[in-house]
Structure 1
Amino acid sequence: MYHILTCDRECQSVDAHREYTDNTYEGRDFMKPIQSDQQFQDAIQDKGMVVFTTSWCPDCRRLDMYVDELVKDYPQFNWYVVDRDELPELSDTQEVRGIPSLLFYQEGVKQEHLHSANAKTEMQIRSFLDTLNA
């Protein structure tokens, strides 16, 4: 029930909230959803910027407000999104302890990890992206 209380849409049920959040990324070109381990393995081969998020996280919803601009301003990355609740084992193996987290991969190897404590604002995320040589 906690995730309903933080929903900016004030969804009236778990099903309504899930439908709203399932459609959040649908039809948008900025990030491709990763829904399997194989998709993840494919994504991390070539400049993969993977954003770990959830539907109930307030900081993740704040990120939604400006992530389109980030993707547009940093086209050197291939952008992906993982719902931590849908792939908890993947999140654990990638050492994602908080959300949102941004992880940068090249040739299948994690190069950098912006932990949630440092991914609270657009400025923090832009500073992180600016430091990467992609």
Structure 2
Amino acid sequence: MATGQHEAPTVVEVGSTGQFEELLRLRAKSLVVVHFWTPWAPQCTQMNQVMLELAQEQPQVSFLKLEAEAVPEVSEKYNISSVPTFLFFKNSQQIDRLDGAHAPELTKKVHRHASSSTFPPSTKGSMQEDLVLRLQKLTTAAPCMLFMKGTPQEPRCGFSKQMVEILKKHSIQFSSFDIFSDEEVRQGLKTYSNWPTYPQLYVSGELIGGLDIIKELEASGELDTICPKVPKLEDRLKVLINQAAVVLFMKGDKQEAKCGFSKQILEILNSTNVDYETFDILKDEEVRQGLKEYSNWPTYPQLYVQGELVGGLDIVKELKENGELLPILKREN
């Protein structure tokens, strides 16, 4: 085992609880990064190599690797449920965590924590302020924010999975934050919200609660009134066709038409000097397909006035030739 010799920077292998605690104590003034790993997982072997490269690059940082199943007391103490997992320590206190084989994220966290040396007591207040500001931004990042273990696609605990299922069942529009990806947020949000467990659901920056509360709100019917819904396609289309007095759904936009029909109808509209808005149906497949059915009109471009379909290029050409287009656009008929 490496001790006090000044050899090339390397990753120190930890074999016991006592050795782990001693290393944390001895290296308290530097950043300590611990890799919980198992020899049978290929991604762990790969991340050990990443750790070795980081050790060469950051000689002031202490890198340790600990076989999770060989030292179960330490793994249990720090809630290591999967490998690879990385813990970050300063002053013998855990300050961050990373679950999974994410080499770019590991490198980013090492650089960030290494660049801020041990925190003197005088800076603790400002650090707390920074964290509070960060949590405020996160809780208001979307109208409905779910702080969970994992992602909606891959929840990493049963409670988070149930929460996602309830929100999806009620067509609730939400964004999420994986608290496993940031230990500072994971611990800080418990204090910020005065809520000790996850998942946590926020609406408009206000804590609604955890799974039990959401289940109660679902049972009482209040959940649907509290959380923002994913707009139905029909409602969305109604908003789009009424976004201006004259709206053209086309391939491309006013600056650049992306088909000959759209280009021709733009030229006609521009010749009338009437204000209009455009929507590029190439950028939204849901609208592109849905509007055909909604309007019962199979092709583009489509021109709407006051929320009503006028028609496509052929009809607009006809209206222009017989002098009816301008009155329709201005609703002077």
**What TM-score, normalized by structure 2, do the two folds share?**
0.29
> Which residue of structure 2 aligns with residue 129 of structure 1?
110
Per-residue deviation, 1:111: 1.2
Question: Gaps spanning 5+ residues in structure 1: where?
Answer: 1-27
**Is the deviation greater in 51-60 or in 122-131?**
122-131
The answer as to whether partners of 2:17 and 2:73 remain within 8 angstroms in 1 is no
Identity over aligned pairs, percent:
19
Structure 1: distance between partners of 2:107 and 2:45: 17
Measure how far apart 1:76 and its partner are.
2.1
| Deviation readout 1:73-130 (Å, 9 max, x if unpaired) | 12221111100110122101012222111111122211111122xxx23212111212
Amino acid at match of 1:129: V
Choose the corresponding residue for 1:104, options 67, 88, 91: 88
Alignment correspondent of 1:93: 77
Q: Distance in 2 between matches of 1:103 and 1:83?
A: 13
Q: How many residues in Structure 1 have an aligned counterpart in Structure 2? A: 104
**CA-atom RMSD, angstroms?**
1.8
Q: Distance in 2 between matches of 1:38 and 1:65?
A: 25
Q: Secondary structure at the match of 2:96?
A: strand
Q: Does 1:53 align with 2:37?
A: yes
What is the rounded CA distance, in whole Å, between the counterparts of 1:108 and 1:70 in structure 2? 21
Amino acid aligned to 2:70: E
Identify the match of residue 39 of structure 1 among 6, 9, 19: 19
Moved beyond 6 Å, runs of 4+: none
Give the whole-Å Cα distance in 2 for the aligned partners of 1:64 and 1:31: 8
Q: Counterparts of 1:59-98 in structure 2 under 5 Å?
A: 59-98=43-82
Once the two structures are TM-superposed, the CA of residue 64 in structure 1 deviates from its matched residue by 3.1
Matched residue type, 2:42: P
The 1-side partners of 2:35 and 2:48 are apart by 11
AA of the residue aligned to 1:90: V
Instruction: Classify 1:128/1:29 alpha carbon distance in 2 versus 1 (closer, same or farther; 3 Å).
Output: closer
Gap regions ≥5 residues in structure 2? 1-7, 118-333
Amino acid at match of 1:36: S
Q: In structure 2, what is the Cα distance between the partners aligned to 1:66 and 1:109?
A: 23
CA shift in 2, pair 1:121/1:114, >3 Å: closer
Q: For 1:121 and 1:113, locate their aligned partners in 2 and report how far apart those are by CA, in whole Å.
A: 12
Q: Normalization by structure 1: what TM-score? A: 0.69
